[in-house]
Chain A
Amino acid sequence: MPHVAPLCPAGHLPHKGGDQPAGYSSPISDVGRKAITSKLLISPLVGEMSGRTEGGNVGRILLQLIALFAALFLALTPAHAQSVEELVRQLPEGSYSDRGKIVAQLAATGDVRLVPLLEALAAGELNVVEETGQVVTTAPSGDTVRLTDALTAETAGEASKGAVVRIRVNNSLRRAVRAAIGQLTLMSDSAATRRSAAEAMFNAAEPDNLALLDEALAQEEHAGVRRTMEQARAASILKTDASAEQIAEAVDTISARGDRAALGILTAMLGQADDDVRPAIQEGIKAIEAHLALLDVGQNVWYGISLGSVLLLAAIGLAITFGVMGVINMAHGEMVMIGAYTTFVVQNIVRTSFPGLFEWTLAFALPVAFLVTALIGIAIERGIIRWLYGRPLETLLATWGLSLIIQQAVRSIFGASNREVGNPTWMSGSFDFYGIAMTWNRFWIVVFALAVFAILLVVMKRTALGLQMRAVTQNRRMASSMGIRTPWVDALTFGLGSGIAGLAGVALSQIDNVSPNLGQGYIIDSFMVVVFGGVGNLWGTLVGALTLGVVNKFLEPYAGAVLAKILVLVFIILFIQKRPRGLFALKGRAVEA
Chain B
Amino acid sequence: MIEKMGSTRRLLGAAALAAMLAQAGPAVAQDETIKVGILHSLSGTMAISETTLKDVMLMLVEEQNKKGGLLGKQLEPVVVDIASDWPLAAEKARELIEVNKVDAVFGCWTSVCRKSVLPVFEELNSLLFYPVQYEGEESQRNVFYTGASPNQQAIPAVDYLMNEEGVERWVLAGTDYVYPQTTNKILEAYLKDKGVAAEDIMINYTPFGHSDWQTIVSDIKNFGSSGKKTAVVSTINGDANVPFYRELGNQGIAAEDIPVVAFSVGEEELAGLDTAPLVGHLAAWNYFMSVDTPENASFIETWHAFIGNEDRVTNDPMEAHYIGFNMWAAAVEKAQSTEADAVIDAIVGVEVPNLTGGTAVMLANHHVTKPVLIGEIQDDGQFDVVWETEGLVPGDAWSDYLPESAVLEADWTDPVNCGNYNTETKSCGGSM
Contact = CB atoms under 8 A, between A and B. Distances in A.
Given A267-B227, A561-B216, A171 B255 contact: yes
Interface stretch (B97-105, B116-124, B206-214, B331-339): B206-214
A411 B47 contact: yes
Contacts of A268: 226-228
Nearest to A566: B207
Nearest to B277: A428
Nearest to A122: B256
Contacts of A172: 164-165, 256
B293 interface: no
* Listed residue (A9, A170, A430, A556) with the most chain B CB atoms within 10 angstroms of its CB: A170
Contacts of B166: 7, 9
A172 B226 CA distance: 19
Interface string B48-81: 1001100000000000000000000000000000
A584 interface: no
Interface string B238-280: 0100110011011110011001000000001101111001011
Contacts of A429: 250, 252
Given A260-B225, A267-B227, A437 B272 contact: no
A492 to B, nearest CB: 31
Interface in A507-553: 511-517, 520-521, 553
A556 B256 contact: no
Interface string A391-415: 0000000000000000110010001
Interface string A132-159: 0000000000000000000000000000
Contacts of A512: 211, 242-243
B157 to A, nearest CB: 14
A339 B209 CA distance: 19
A560 B172 CA distance: 13
* Listed residue (B214, B272, B274, B279) with the most chain A CB atoms within 10 angstroms of its CB: B214
Nearest to B242: A513
A207 B256 CA distance: 21
Contact of A124 (B51, B206, B256, B379): B379
A430 B51 contact: no
A420 B272 contact: yes
A260 B25 CA distance: 69
Contacts of B249: 428
A284 B376 CA distance: 38
B50 to A, nearest CB: 8
B259 A171 contact: yes
B221 interface: yes
Given A178-B256, A417-B271, A418-B272, A264 B226 contact: yes
A260 B45 CA distance: 39
Contact of B207 (A422, A515, A562): A562
A171 B215 contact: no
Given A171-B255, A442-B214, A511 B226 contact: no
A561 B207 CA distance: 7
**Category for how many chain B residues contact A:** 35 or more
Interface stretch (A107-115, A217-225, A299-307, A474-482): A299-307
A300 B214 CA distance: 9
Interface in A251-267: 260-261, 263-267
Interface in A262-279: 263-269
B109 to A, nearest CB: 12
B242 A411 contact: no
Nearest to B240: A513
Nearest to B219: A557
Contacts of A430: 250-252
Interface in B154-180: 164-166, 168, 176
Contact of B272 (A306, A419, A439, A557): A419
A514 B48 contact: no
A285 B207 CA distance: 34
B168 A7 contact: yes
Given A171-B255, A561-B205, A515 B225 contact: no
Interface string A162-206: 000000101110110010000000000000000000000000000
Contact of A437 (B45, B209, B218, B227): B218
Contacts of A174: 255-256, 280
A439 B247 contact: yes
Interface in B276-305: 277, 279-280
Interface in A404-452: 407-408, 411, 415-420, 422-423, 428-430, 437, 439-442
Interface string B77-96: 00000000000000000000
B111 interface: no
Interface string A331-361: 0000000000000000000000000000000
Interface string B296-324: 00000000000000000000000000000
Given A171-B259, A416-B51, A423 B274 contact: yes
A103 interface: no
A310 interface: yes
B400 interface: no
* Listed residue (A260, A265, A417) with the most chain B CB atoms within 10 angstroms of its CB: A417
A14 B302 CA distance: 50
A172 B229 CA distance: 12
Contact of A513 (B47, B205, B243, B386): B243
B43 interface: yes
Given A437-B251, A511-B246, A562-B207, A7 B228 contact: yes
A433 B218 CA distance: 15
Interface in A303-324: 303, 306-307, 310
B251 to A, nearest CB: 6
B384 interface: yes
A309 B31 CA distance: 62
A565 interface: yes
B48 A515 contact: yes
Nearest to B84: A517
B378 interface: yes
Contacts of A175: 256
A96 interface: yes
Given A171-B255, A171-B256, A517-B209, A417 B272 contact: yes
Contacts of A557: 215, 219
Contacts of B215: 300, 303, 553, 556-557, 561
Nearest to A269: B227
B389 interface: no
Contacts of B227: 264-269
Contacts of A266: 227
Nearest to B268: A417
B274 A420 contact: yes
Contact of A420 (B219, B256, B273): B273
A553 B214 CA distance: 9
B226 A267 contact: yes
Contacts of A514: 272
A353 B294 CA distance: 38
B239 A513 contact: yes
The 4 lowest CB-CB distance pairs between A and B, nearest first, are A418-B272, A268-B227, A513-B242, A260-B225
5 contacts: A411-B43, A420-B273, A429-B250, A561-B207, A561-B210
Interface of A: 7, 9, 96, 124, 168, 170-172, 174-175, 178, 260-261, 263-269, 299-300, 303, 306-307, 310, 407-408, 411, 415-420, 422-423, 428-430, 437, 439-442, 511-517, 520-521, 553, 556-557, 560-562, 565
Given A265-B227, A429-B250, 20 more contacts: A7-B228, A124-B279, A172-B165, A266-B227, A303-B214, A307-B214, A411-B47, A416-B51, A417-B51, A417-B271, A418-B48, A429-B252, A437-B252, A439-B214, A439-B247, A512-B243, A517-B45, A521-B211, A556-B215, A560-B205
Interface of B: 42-43, 45, 47-48, 51-52, 164-166, 168, 176, 204-207, 209-212, 214-216, 218-219, 221-222, 224-229, 239, 242-243, 246-247, 249-252, 255-256, 259, 268-269, 271-274, 277, 279-280, 376, 378-379, 384, 386
